[in-house]
Structure 1
Amino acid sequence: MPETSEPHPEGEQPRSIRLTDPRALRAYAHPLRMTLVGLLRSSGPFTATKAAELTGESVASCSYHLRILAKYGLVEEAPGGKGREKPWRATARYTEWPEYSEDATVAEAADALTVAVAERYFERVTRAMERRHTLPREWREAEQFGDSLLYLTPEELTGLGERMDALLRPFEGRESDPSLMPEGARAVSILRIAHLEQDVPHHREAE
Structure 2
Amino acid sequence: MTEQSHSIELTDPRALRAYAHPTRMTLVGLLRKSGPFTATKAAELTGESVASCSYHLRILAKYGLVEQAPGGKGREKPWRATARFTEWPDRSEDAAVAQAADALSAAVTEHYFQRVLKALENRHALPEEWREAEQFGDTLLHLTPEELTGLGQRIDELLRPYEEREAEPALRPEGARPVGILRIAFVDRESDSDAGEA
Same-fold call, TM > 0.5? yes
Shift of 1:199: 2.2
**Which residue of structure 2 aligns with residue 69 of structure 1?**
60
> What's the % identity of the aligned pairs?
76
Partner of 1:168: 159
Q: Secondary structure at the match of 1:37?
A: helix
Aligned pair count? 194
For normalisation by structure 1, the TM-score amounts to: 0.90
Gap runs ≥5 in structure 1: 1-5
RMSD: 1.3
Question: Which residue in 1 is equivalent to 2:76?
Answer: 85
Equivalent residue, structure 1, for 2:100: 109
| Equivalent AA in structure 2 for residue 28 of structure 1 | Y
Gaps of 5+ in 2: none
The equivalent position to 2:132 in structure 1, one of 133, 138, 141, is 141
Query: TM-score, normalising length from structure 2?
Result: 0.94
| SS of residue matched to 1:151 | coil
Distance 2:69 2:177 in 1: 26
Which position in structure 1 is the counterpart of 2:6? 15
Residue aligned with 1:175, SS: helix
Shift of 1:76: 0.8
Distance 2:79 2:152 in 1: 32
1:49 to 40, 49, 65: 40
CA distance in 2, matches of 1:165, 1:72: 28
Deviation string for 1:103-155 (max 9, x for gaps)?
A: 11100000000110111111111111111111101101100011010111111
Q: Which whole-Å CA distance do the structure 2 matches of 1:32 and 1:49 have between them?
A: 15
The equivalent residue for 1:185 is 176
Moved over 3 A (4+): none
Q: Is the 8 A contact 1:27 1:68 kept in 2?
A: yes
Deviation at 1:184, TM superposition (A): 0.2
Q: What's the CA shift for 1:200?
A: 2.0
